[in-house]
Copies of this chain bind each other. A is one copy, B any other.
Amino acid sequence: MTVESTAARKPRRSAGSKAGNAGTTGTKAAGTTGTKRTTRSTRAAGKGADPQLVQLLTPEGKRVKNAEFDPYVAGVTPDELRGLYRDMVLTRRFDAEATALQRQGELGLWASLLGQEAAQIGSGRATREDDYVFPTYREHGVAWCRGVDPTNLLGMFRGVNNGGWDPNSNNFHLYTIVIGSQALHATGYAMGVAMDGADSAVLAYFGDGASSQGDVMEAFNFAAVYNAPVVFFCQNNQWAISESNEKQTRVPLYQRAEGFGFPGVRVDGNDVLASLAVTRWALERARRGEGPALIEAYTYRMGAHTTSDDPSRYRHDDERIAWEAKDPILRLRRHLEASNHTDEGFFTELETESEALGKRVREVVRAMPDPDRLALFEHAYADGHALVDEERAQFVAYQASFADTEAEGV
């Protein structure tokens, strides 16, 4: 299977090469006992300061039972498991390629998701096509699940645009850089979904640092008051640039939800199966009209904040090393191998696909043209603006005045 660029409104890349829609399966499996589980989960989540980490796969790849969340992944086939693995491997590969491209000067900046693949793929694969996703700037894995061509993500990091895809083609909003703003957009969108009487849900991503922003907390409250079908997915990767969790919050973040009147759950964000299960649970209750939920995916930012950052200034290597043992990809690989769900062919094929993806990303990025100068004045307004027209005309005339000296622009 090759990685193709994505057409609007087409079914997304399926999770496994031949699998059906994993999301649907899970929905059915879980639908039967939904309400009860909701209650229990709420209680469990609020129990105290001890993290109640939902985990379905141990770091060693052992499948552990969880009465509450098992039903949400009961229908997951080996093929789908391989699909999740493939998603994570390709996402990591894409991410590594982007980091390399930044080093080579092809990108101005890159925000790596390294270490957060399971949280993103698990939650992303839990969405339905009609759901709508609001990312931060690091959700490359979720974008992948939504079918956004990964090369489109690179435009803003290269500096050729501030957001290079049509959000409505894949119901995947643009990356939002001002921390926390998108939580309110997601909530408003979800209010609209409810007004439309649709049973879609909305998934809003943000980080542990973002949880401190007033906008995120106002979003919690609006979502609760309007019972909006929005799931808040907080990737707690332990760091907000150089600030660790205790600089942002006194208690585990998932606990914040209850004070607004909806459940919060902490999930092992390095466990793709658990992330899938918990997100399905939350999305389904949102669809059923039970309102918002908060998921805290406990994970780790393995790399620097962005390529501009130097984490050696503020954290020790031991920490990263300890988390490497919990690597999300390794974990699923161990599980697949122990379950005899894979053979060498699968891995070789994936490696080839991975190489192809890397090559394509390199090629597309290097060929990405700079925007036309006049793009400066494009899209400032939808209906036009007299001053923009005037400035554009002056700009054109000014540029033309160089025509004698220069053969062509720039």
A262: B residues at CB distance < 8 A? 250
Per DSSP, are chain A's interface residues mostly helix, strand or loop, or mixed?
helix
Closest to A223 in B: B250
Chain B nearest CB: distance from A255 CB in Å? 5
Give Cα distance in the complex from A227 to B249, angstroms: 11
What is the count of identical protomers in the complex? 2
Contact between A259 and B248 (Cβ–Cβ < 8 Å)?
Answer: no
Report Cα–Cα, A218/B215, bound state, in Å: 9
Alpha-carbon separation in the docked complex, A255 to B256 (Å): 10
A247 to B264, CA, bound (A): 22
Determine which of B218, B259, B264 lies in contact with A214 in the assembled complex, contact meaning CB atoms within 8 Å: B218
Residue of B nearest to A225 (CB): B250
In the complex, what distance in Å separates the CA atom of A247 from the CA atom of B218? Answer: 13
Residues of B within 8 A of A250 (CB): 221, 224-225, 227, 260-262
A246 to chain B, nearest CB (A): 8
Instruction: Type the 1/0 row for A218-260, where 1 means its CB is closer than 8 Å to any CB of B.
Output: 1001001101000000000000000000111111000111111
> Complex Cα distance A262/B49, Å?
11
Listed by A's residue number, 15 A-B pairs whose Cβ atoms lie within 8 Å are: A46-B46, A212-B221, A213-B214, A214-B214, A214-B215, A214-B217, A221-B250, A224-B249, A225-B246, A249-B260, A249-B261, A250-B261, A251-B259, A255-B259, A257-B259
The 10 closest A-B pairs by CB, nearest first: A214-B214, A259-B259, A250-B261, A251-B261, A217-B217, A256-B259, A224-B250, A214-B218, A255-B259, A212-B221
